[in-house]
Amino acid sequence: IILAFSSLSAVGGIDVLKQRLADLSPAGAQAGTSASLLSFFPNLDSPWMPMITSFFYISLNWWASWYPVAEPGGGGYVAQRMFSARTEQDAQLATLWFQIAHYALRPWPWIITALCAMVLYPGLDDPETGYVRIMIDHLPPYLRGLMVASFLAAYMSTIATMLNWGASYLVNDVYQRFLRPSAPERHYVRISQAATVVLTLASAVITFYMDSISGAWKLLIVTGAGTGGVLLARWFWWRVNAWSEVSAMVIAAIVSIYLQTAMGLDSADPRGFAHIMLITVSLTTAGWVAVTLLTAPEPASRLIEFYRRVHPIAAGWRPIARQAPEVRPDRDGWQNLFGMLAAGVLIYGLLFGTGKLLLKEYS
């Protein structure tokens, strides 16, 4: 937030920023506004956000893709927050507040700083360096040091989380389950330490070939494209099993890698990214549904236990509901689905609405 204020001060304020952005765009300059850069819908021929890419973000990305901290259908991060809440209502409110704070409010200091960087440093070969240039040129030394320290703290917390998370998967879900199920705890600790070292080295090799943060983000998104649907469906359909999720992850990875290598589509190119996503989501969804129907469901005892604990919508759980007649099914199922759609509209509206207020486009 401080960096956003500093960058705005360097530019001369919101009004000057908007005019300078208009000057950067031929269409905006002719109209006398910065609409071509700041409008909700980009121009049809926009080089950085073609309409097909914009369509993907609004219609597919929010439910179809898996990404850490943003797992459709819930994941470890959101579960930790819910479990640490005092009551179920507190858990719901905390989760709602996180969605608003994380997706609607937190991006705007970054976006304002990025817009200022476009004005202060036009034509950068690597636009991602604009953020650091503003830090160096427009923050006093004491705030610059604080910014670097906060970056290091955020980096270390994320690295520690991911390495512990990855090592726990390798040890608990693979090594202990299939290779050494009854070894002493000290043995598993040593294996987890070795797994952490292996993951660290592997990540170092992968990042050596990454050119940018946005490129790494897009690579992760396309690798998990289509897996979001199965993570949502497991709450609504009793037939979803472990093989549904495994097949979705495998198909998404294979299809996205094939499209980028054999077919030559580039995830760094906006149009290529959209095409990769649309194809991968379609094939992954068709694939995991087919695998689900071709494989056996989870054991009935486990499904009944899940149904009794969660009370999912009875429409997709009728065979299991018949075996647990004492459970009062959730009759708010359609309201829940409507609430999910409404929440998506809420986040998009707050995200862009906050920007309109900041940019003085009040109407």
**Residue 316, token pair as written in the block:** 């997709």
d(CA 277, CA 55): 11
Given this model, what pLDDT does residue 70 score? Answer: 72
With beta carbons less than 8 A apart as the criterion, state whether 280 and 259 touch: yes
Q: What is the mean pLDDT of the chain?
A: 87
Residue with tokens 């900041």: 358
With beta carbons less than 8 A apart as the criterion, state whether 357 and 112 touch: no
Q: How many CB atoms lie within 10 A of CB 254?
A: 15
Q: Quick one: DSSP state of residue 173?
A: I
Q: What is the pLDDT of residues 260-299, one digit of tens each?
A: 888 888 877 888 888 998 999 999 999 999 999 999 999 9
In terms of phi and psi (left: phi > 0; alpha: psi -120 to 50; beta: otherwise), the region of 311 is: left
φ, ψ for residue 228 (rounded to 5)?
-60, -35
Q: What is the pLDDT of residues 72-109, one digit of tens each?
A: 887 777 888 888 999 999 998 998 898 899 889 999 99
Q: Is the pLDDT of residue 27 over 70?
A: no
Given this model, what pLDDT does residue 97 score? Answer: 92
Helix, strand, or coil (residue 210): coil
> Residue 74 carries which side chain, given as an amino acid letter?
G
Q: Is the pLDDT of residue 234 over 80?
A: yes
Given this model, what pLDDT does residue 30 score? Answer: 46
Closest residue by Cα to residue 254 from 283, 296, 294: 283
Percentage of the chain exceeding pLDDT 90: 48
d(CA 193, CA 214): 30
Q: What is the pLDDT of residues 237-268, one digit of tens each?
A: 999 999 999 999 999 989 988 998 888 888 77
Helix, strand, or coil (residue 131): helix
Lowest pLDDT segment from 24-33, 64-73, 107-116, 151-160: 24-33
Given this model, what pLDDT does residue 220 score? Answer: 78
| Tally of helices (H runs) and strands (E runs) in the chain | 19, 0
Given this model, what pLDDT does residue 207 score? Answer: 84
**Residue 20, token pair as written in the block:** 């300078």
Please report, for residues 47, 111, 198, 267, the alpha-carbon distance to residue 43 in angstroms, rounded to integers and kept in the order given: 9, 19, 46, 21
In terms of C-beta distances under 8 Å and separation of at least 24 residues, what long-range contacts does 144-148 make, across chains too? 147/3
Lowest pLDDT segment from 200-204, 289-293, 313-317, 345-349: 313-317
Q: Pick the residue with more confidence: 60 or 258?
A: 258
With beta carbons less than 8 A apart as the criterion, state whether 226 and 279 touch: no
Given this model, what pLDDT does residue 26 score? Answer: 58
